Amino acid sequence: MSQKVLLNATEVNIILHRLACQLIEKHTDFSETVLVGLQPRGKYLAQRIAKILKEDYKIKDLKLGLLDITFYRDDFRRSEKPLEANTTEISFIVEEKNVVFIDDVLYTGRSIRAALTAIQSFGRPKEIELLTLIDRRFSRHLPIQPNFRGRQVDAINKEKVIVQWQEQGEEDAVYLINN
């Protein structure tokens, strides 16, 4: 097994600030915009971007939710491992709002497909965008592309991209692992 560092802590930090700035450029004061982190892996990225927006760019009343897509996945009873659910914390209605989905890695696009269905339970959004830290090119099963991307990676299917957050105990980093 070989492991390559794609991004170190400093690079992750620079990218997070850039993504935050791109969001501000598009959504200005976020009065009509809500951020939705996709569980389980998008949670840390969403919380981190929300923190930068609030603390460094003084965005007030930023709405952040967490969406679990387990019950909307298309591989129920098809995957080897049982699917484990996570909490959904969305305390607002997304009706007529601009929704930004936040996830760490965009791979096949199936999670995003599930999220697009799941979010409908909270209203009809005006628009949905996608922000991902890592965009794995050439591996999509569905016609889904990110609107905001941290880094594009060309990885073959055997390879895994792992995003590690300091909230999980170690420093921020993105690895490419080859089994």
Distance of CA 170 to the CA centre of its chain: 19
Binding window for another protein (CB under 8 A); candidates: 15-23, 87-95, 134-142, 149-157 = 87-95
117 lies in the binding site for another protein (CB under 8 A) = yes
92 lies in the binding site for another protein (CB under 8 A) = no
Binding window for another protein (CB under 8 A); candidates: 14-22, 81-89, 145-153, 160-168 = 81-89
Q: Is the preceding omega at residue 143 within 30 degrees of 0, hence cis?
A: no
> d(Cα 118, Cα 116) in Å, to the nearest integer?
6
Residue of 131, 134, 125, 94 lying closest to 112 (CA atoms): 131
Cβ distance to another protein smaller for residue 121 or 157: 121
Distance set, CA 149 to CA 55, 63, 88 (Å): 22, 21, 24
91 lies in the binding site for another protein (CB under 8 A) = no
83 lies in the binding site for another protein (CB under 8 A) = yes
> d(Cα 122, Cα 105) in Å, to the nearest integer?
24
Tokens found for residue 140 = 């999509």
Nearest distance from C-beta of residue 158 to another protein, angstroms: 26
User: Which residues ranging from 2 to 61 are in contact with another protein (CB under 8 A)?
Assistant: none
For helices 9-27 and 42-55, the axis angle rounded to 10 degrees is 70
The pattern of x and - marking residues 149 through 178 that bind another protein according to CB under 8 A reads: ------------------------------
142 lies in the binding site for another protein (CB under 8 A) = no
The angle formed by the CA atoms of residues 63, 125 and 140, to the nearest 5 degrees, is: 95
Q: Which of 77, 138, 143, 158 binds another protein (CB under 8 A)?
A: 77
Which residues of the chain form contacts with another protein (CB under 8 A)? 68, 70-73, 76-78, 81-88, 93, 117-118, 120-123
